Structure 1
Amino acid sequence: MQVNNNTTTYRKAIYSGTFDPITNGHMDIIKRATYIFDEVIIAVAKSEMKSPMFSHEKRVAFAQAATKDMQKVKVIGFDTLLVDLASELKINTIIRGLRAVSDFEYELQMGYANSSINKKLETLYLMPTLENAFVSSTIVREIIRFNGKFEHLVPQKVLECMQ
């Protein structure tokens, strides 16, 4: 990004979530974010209150495997408030994905809450392609629980990690 005084700034953003597991929908948002930012931090939340299907370590490993070939992407795990992580990393933009109107209502509330804690924090909402608009970790977990076919919903490298 070019600034008025001919100096270049380095733009980073955080895309956080439980990623239980990371899906093609998440990858769609990550790819779009890399077109906008110089670096995208995938922050995998521990989220014990959500009782994830996969351990925090596995979810971080899945995200690392899925984004391994994406040079602008870095994966980290965290167990704090997202606003605190953003401050620690000196990042002022949060990426969130929106699939439907129901997502928007929740994400808008979270964006306002985060902004109330850190006024410099901006939330950028990205929509996945229509092909990935229905994909969610919840759907994938439900299909896995019933031994259904889910291979088309997660990155190939995640499937390899699961086996």
Structure 2
Amino acid sequence: MAHVLAIYPGTFDPITLGHEDLVRRAARLFDRVIVAVAIAHHKKTLFSLDERMEMARQALADCPQVQVESFEGLVTEFTAARGGTAMVRGLRSGTDFDYEFQLAGMNRALVPGVETVFLTPASQYQFISSTLVREIGTLGGDVAQFVSPGVHERLLHKLGRTAAA
């Protein structure tokens, strides 16, 4: 029986509990999952590539079938090069669906052998995004409930803050 490898791509700046939820769901569906962290030269990230990869590895250390790797360029090429047959994408809302549906069609045209699988996060994570976590954290808000403890600690350090007593 063939082992099915799924790729879950993103910037993960930082990885949130919503991302973790989707990875764990994907790990139940597929034999292996690669969390593909985009180098993202086109985006100004708060965390470096190494920091984003280390946070993802730390947050998902309890998932032995999950690996964290970086990629540059088209995720379809990365997926094909790794032998992946599925790409996991998260949907939080109808707005996400419109964009992701279009992206899935383009990806299918580029690499017909790779299927896009849409997963929705648990209801308590549906509103969480890395962008909002960064913005709230930058403005002094408490984001501890949206990220794992290790990620929260790194975020506070990056923003020059310390944890509340």
Please classify the TM superposition score into its range, dividing by the shorter chain length: over 0.9
Q: Which amino acid aligns with 2:75?
A: L
Q: Identity over the aligned pairs, expressed in percent?
A: 38
- The 5-angstrom pairing of residues 59-78 of structure 1 reads 59-78=52-71
Partner of 1:24: 17
Q: CA RMSD in A?
A: 1.0
Structure 1 position 157, deviation (Å): 2.5
Pick from 6, 12, 16 the counterpart of residue 5 of structure 2: 12
Following superposition, the deviation at residue 161 of structure 1 comes to 4.0
Deviates more, 1:150-159 or 1:122-131: 150-159
List aligned pairs for 1:9-158, cutoff 5 A: 9-158=2-151
SS in 2 for 1:108: helix
| 5+ residue gaps, structure 1 | 1-7
Structure 1 runs (4+) greater than 3 angstroms displaced: 160-163
Give 1:20 shift: 0.6
Task: Provide the secondary structure at the position in 2 that maps to 1:128.
Answer: coil
The TM-score, its normalising length taken from structure 2, stands at: 0.91
> Partner letter of residue 98 of structure 2?
E
DSSP-derived class of the 1:123 partner = strand
Q: Aligned partners of 1:161, 1:10: CA distance in 2, in Å?
A: 35
3-state SS, counterpart of residue 42 of structure 2 = helix
Number of positions where the alignment pairs a residue of Structure 1 with one of Structure 2: 156
Which residue matches 2:161? none
What is the rounded CA distance, in whole Å, between the counterparts of 2:151 and 2:106 in structure 1?
32
